[in-house]
Amino acid sequence: MSSLTEARVSEVRAFNRFYTKVIGVLQSGMLDSPYSLTEVRVLFELAHAERMENGELRALLGLDAGYLSRILTRFEGDGLVERERSATDARKQLVRLTPAGASTFAGLDQRSAEEIGRLLSGLPDEDQERLVASMATIRGLLAPETGREPYVIRPPRTGDLGWVVYRHGELYSREYGWGTAFEQTVAKIVGELDFSKDAGWIAEVGGERAGCVFYVRQDDTTAKLRMLLVEPSARGMGIGRRLVEECLRHAKAEGCKRITLWTRDCLVSARHIYQAAGFQLEKEEKGVENGIELTEQWWTLDL
């Protein structure tokens, strides 16, 4: 193992030790209950299914058959679960929560939400967003592709345009140090949108806004791709690429022959999306935003 890999392994292990202490996994019982983390997780899965087959529950949680059997035996003794043989296959055993089990889980679930709420309340809103976005990044990198939450692309609705301005100002200030002047630039672009000839798309994940892009018609043959943004919590899902594809599909359907965009060299992920879509760098020049030196870029694509 290389020294770099060893350092990364050490950092992940240090994070695991830190976080298990923060959420109380090392305590004898989770959430001041007599049950361990694994036992509470079994209750969670049973609470979200009418009933489950033993093998299904074991595979879902990656538990040893004997260990799961001991947990269920304890739960049965505490009156939390009922077990019965499958009517279609006597070799299989079905498990479900009793009313007492459902009540016990509801109490644990409420306590968990309250504890996390207290944890977050000690942080300002900006740090809460950073924390949640970082957690989403960890899940996105380590979870299988099939485990990612689906997203939808839809036209803008009332309230979306205000969100576009707010999130551009908030995110680019936090990530790149750009100030109010940049937010005002975005507000001006949004204010000049004319949906009799322009168009836009909003990405949603779990019913929450997660990204946007806009098509702004310049003349009979030319348009601009504007204000591509993807929330940190939704990055890595292909949303940015999908939004650009939707904009280009619309441009072709409208008979547009050429589409341009303005970006900055520090927006590396966006630039990769543009290059993959076929955009070519037309020109660039030095610029300044909120006292920060950067490189302005103009890209074009012939349709």
Q: What is the SS3 string spanning 265-282?
A: CCCHHHHHHHHHHCCEEE
225 with 261: CB under 8 angstroms? yes
Nearest-angstrom CA–CA distance, 111 and 95: 24
For residue 293 the two structure tokens come to 């030196």
Nearest-angstrom CA–CA distance, 62 and 58: 6
**CATH code for the structural domain at 151-302:** 3.40.630.30
pLDDT band at 149 (very low <50, low <70, confident <90, very high): low
> Beta strand 292-302 with 258-264: parallel, antiparallel or unpaired?
antiparallel
Query: Higher pLDDT residue, 302 or 138?
Result: 302
> Class assignment of domain 3-122?
mainly alpha
Using N-to-C axis directions, what is the helix angle for 37-47 and 54-61, rounded to 10°?
A: 130
What is the DSSP annotation of the chain?
--HHHHHHHHHHHHHHHHHHHHTTTTSSSGGGSS--HHHHHHHHHHHTSS-EEHHHHHHHHT--HHHHHHHHHHHHHTTSEEEEE-SS-TT-EEEEE-HHHHHHHHHHHHHHHHHHHHHHHTS-HHHHHHHHHHHHHHHHHHS-GGGSPPEEEE---TTHHHHHHHHHHHHHHHHH---HHHHHHHHHHHHT--TTT-EEEEEEETTEEEEEEEEEE-SSSEEEEEEEEE-GGGTTSSHHHHHHHHHHHHHHHTT--EEEEEEETT-HHHHHHHHHHT-EEEEEEEEEETTEEEEEEEEEEE-
Ranges in the chain annotated CATH 3.40.630.30 = 151-302
Nearest-angstrom CA–CA distance, 41 and 61: 8
What pLDDT is attached to residue 296? 95
Nearest-angstrom CA–CA distance, 181 and 186: 9
What pLDDT is attached to residue 173? 93
pLDDT band at 228 (very low <50, low <70, confident <90, very high): very high
What pLDDT is attached to residue 245? 94
pLDDT band at 30 (very low <50, low <70, confident <90, very high): low
**Range among 96-105, 142-151, 205-214, 220-229 with highest mean pLDDT value:** 220-229
Query: If you average pLDDT over every residue of the chain, what do you get?
Result: 87
What pLDDT is attached to residue 41? 86
Nearest-angstrom CA–CA distance, 181 and 179: 6
Q: Is 140 exposed, middle or buried (0-12, 13-18, 19+ CB in 10 A)?
A: middle
Q: State the average pLDDT over residues 194-207.
A: 93
Q: State the average pLDDT over residues 260-288.
A: 94
Q: For residue 1, is pLDDT > 70?
A: no
CA dihedral 158, 152, 265, 289 (to 10 degrees): 20
Q: State the average pLDDT over residues 168-196.
A: 95
Residue 101's Cβ-side half-sphere holds a number of Cα atoms within 13 Å equal to 28
Closest CA to 263 of 179, 195, 168: 168
What pTM value is reported for the model? 0.55
Ranges in the chain annotated CATH 1.10.10.10 = 3-122
